[in-house]
Structure 1
Amino acid sequence: MSAMTLPIAAELMKAACESCLEAGTLALDLFRPGAQTAARTWAKSGGSPVTEADIGVDTFLRIRLSVLLPEAAWLSEETVDDAQRLTHRFVWVVDPIDGTRAYMSGSPDWAVCVALLDAGTPVLGIVHAPACDATYTAVRGAGASRSGETIRTSLADRLAGAKIAGPKPMLDMLAQSENFEAAGKIPSLALRLARIADGTIDAGLISPDARDWDLAAADLVLSEAGGQLSDAAGRSVAYNRPNPVHGMLIASNNALANPLLHAVERLRDGRTQPV
């Protein structure tokens, strides 16, 4: 089975990006900067929040993207999972609003995320953050961009002084042995990775329980910008598995990948001093 060619992926990107921009406009209609959303909200069965904007954007994108590539299956945070996706070569992976809590509270750090998988590998990725006026895009083998401008990760090669984002407990754990600059927690996982991709920050930690839809689009943006996302054992993230849930993950530019991985390994082993 040959991989999707670059021209085909680039053509799909153009149409998919247009759909994401429209989806972002739909979400902005109910977004209130610095205030609670005007959207109706409720809790899903697991307790996580959802808004009418999440559902509206999900429905809109499913219609649009299904027309672009009818043979592709669908995996989304707001749609009941269909195991038939496991038999498909192509899968759209969508998070209509990554960072729903941020969206609800008026923080701009949320994004519409779309990835296309080809045999489990992201070949197209879009992270559209309309409240930040930023759209990150990547096609496998063609680099990554932010609102049309090529982006690259930072050149930081030491943990000392590096800007690292993540949940406070994880940053506190890392601070036991490393002297870095805590960049706080960026609510949207996709934006956390995208800001590593554009060099705003150098690395990020992701606690267990992230899903394919949180990661796939931004993973491609990051890798095409010169960075990498891995699990705590240094393995690349695998997508379109029966269970889309992931464990602890580590993201950084390529130069920091091994130092950060080794620091996390030491802490997980109970060793707080560098070796």
Structure 2
Amino acid sequence: MQILDGQLVSQATKDELRLNVGQLRTEGKKIPHLAAVLIGTNGASETYVGAKVRTCEEIGFKSTLIRLDEDISEYKLLNVIAELNADPDIDGILVQLPLPKHISDEEVINAIDPSKDVDGFHPISVGKLVQGLPTFVAATPHGIMLILEHYKIDTKGKHAVVIGRSNIVGRPMSILLSANTNPGNCTVTLCHSQTKNLKELCLQADIIVAALGKPEFLTADMVKEGAVIIDVGITRVPDASKKRGYAIKGDVDFTNVSPKCSYITPVPGGVGPMTIAALMKNTYAACLAKN
């Protein structure tokens, strides 16, 4: 069993981007610029956005953090996005989800200029992904593909089971794994809460991507020997023995599943770090399109 170290792959990705940005600077070309919009004071969102801004600084990107009050109207938020769309120095726009209940995710995502949609959520980005055209890919699935590529995991002709059908992870992941690419070329089964024979399907899988948000859902009796396991889940579970009062758990029962695997991502330290690295790659690509 080998650990798929997301920290290691993330650092390698960031190191490469730092060199690329240095080259742009030497050539007097435009430097990538990411604008992040944070609404309210959600603790997890603060953490995520803070990490993204720090990563921009680390690799030499420019970044702008726009903080807005929780009670901002949807109309005013859309105006902020329109201003960012019109700013030629901004390459990527990130509106941190989740949004307050009075604001429509769909309206906000659709308002972002597709050429700056580094989150890969815009319908045009998703449509291009489905058609196999160059586009921005949602950061978490993109990050997973970077891990598979880094470790040279053979995916051609393999049976991949994706558990979870969200637009952020499950659906795009199933498209990427089935694409005529390397990594890719899998036969993919997309499973969800209504799937009847989930255990049987998982036992057939050479690759399992668990992205349903249920701690330790995937157990050892659902995994065949030698499978590749990608754990996307990250849930805080109360744990009085921990100083923070909680433990971070993935969607996979790591202790019991890992001995059966050929490869597995840990939680934390697996897919999580790759999400930010993939976002940075998207922002760099958006900038290159202008240079």
TM-score by length of structure 1 reads 0.28
Q: Which structure dedicates a bigger proportion of its chain to strand?
A: 1
TM-score by length of structure 2 reads 0.27
Please say which structure displays the higher CA radius of gyration: 2
Q: Which structure dedicates a bigger proportion of its chain to helix?
A: 2
